[in-house]
Copies of this chain bind each other. A is one copy, B any other.
Amino acid sequence: MSDPLEKDPQSELSPDITGTDGRTLADRVFARLQDDIVRGELLPGTKLGETELATRYGVSRGPLREAIRRLESRKLLERVPHVGTRVASLTLPDLVEIYHVREALEGMAARLAAQHMTDEEISGLVALLSQHEQQQDLKEDTAYFQREGDLDFHYRIIQGSHNDTLIQMLIGGLYHLVRMYRYQFSTVANRPQRALQEHRRIIEALEARDGEMAELLMRRHISRARENIERSTPPGENP
């Protein structure tokens, strides 16, 4: 728990983080801290002392503060001047807000993806889907892969929009919050069969280059997920 940062362990997921260095110290501590928050290493509400973090990551307080400022603008940290920073704790209404934004943004992403995705990207998406369907057949402990796989599906469509502003907002901004929530509450879609079917129809719309249909389906897909969240038991009352 007190290892210097050096990006030691496996970093297979989170493509944001290029395992090696090559960037500045502040950038590395930013990536590392973000990862620790998202993966639940640092629990929401945790008070983060600057000197403590600085020694923990083996850097000075300068770069650390820059990283904190950036995480703060990504809503992963909450800071009060002269008091301190703590890990953002998402409430259920916050998550509902995020899903409204996702609905709008990813709907647009699907529309643009239908226009701008290359044929190779689409066929890659088809392959990913059949892979997910096989995992679903196996009915193994697919919770983890299902979770990340779902994210991966959405990732690819977002990238397929070829709109950098959109990509930044979604992947650089919102998805870390969603992932943090999922890790925190082990929230896995409890409607995997239906979700897969929705994914399949979205891909069909993409293959048909039907932007309006793709947007409509994606919005429905996310809207249902949101309703699912709204109906679910609030955090802490999970079985």
Contacts and interface: CB of A to CB of B under 8 A. Distances in A.
B166 A69 contact: no
A92 to B, nearest CB: 13
Interface size class of A (residues with CB under 8 A): 20 to 34
Interface stretch (A38-46, A48-56, A103-111, A231-239): A103-111
A98 interface: yes
A81 B74 CA distance: 21
A27 interface: yes
A169 B66 contact: no
Contacts of A66: 65-66, 69
A97 to B, nearest CB: 4
Interface of A is mostly: helix
A70 B79 CA distance: 14
Contact of A163 (B70, B81, B100): B100
Interface in A132-164: 163-164
A165 B69 contact: no
A74 B97 CA distance: 21
Pick the most buried of A26, A73, A98, A165: most chain B CB atoms within 10 A of its CB: A165
Interface of A: 23-24, 26-27, 62, 65-66, 69-70, 73-75, 81-82, 94, 97-98, 100-101, 103-105, 107-108, 112, 163-166, 168-169, 173
3 interchain residue pairs of minimum CB distance: A104-B108, A97-B165, A104-B104
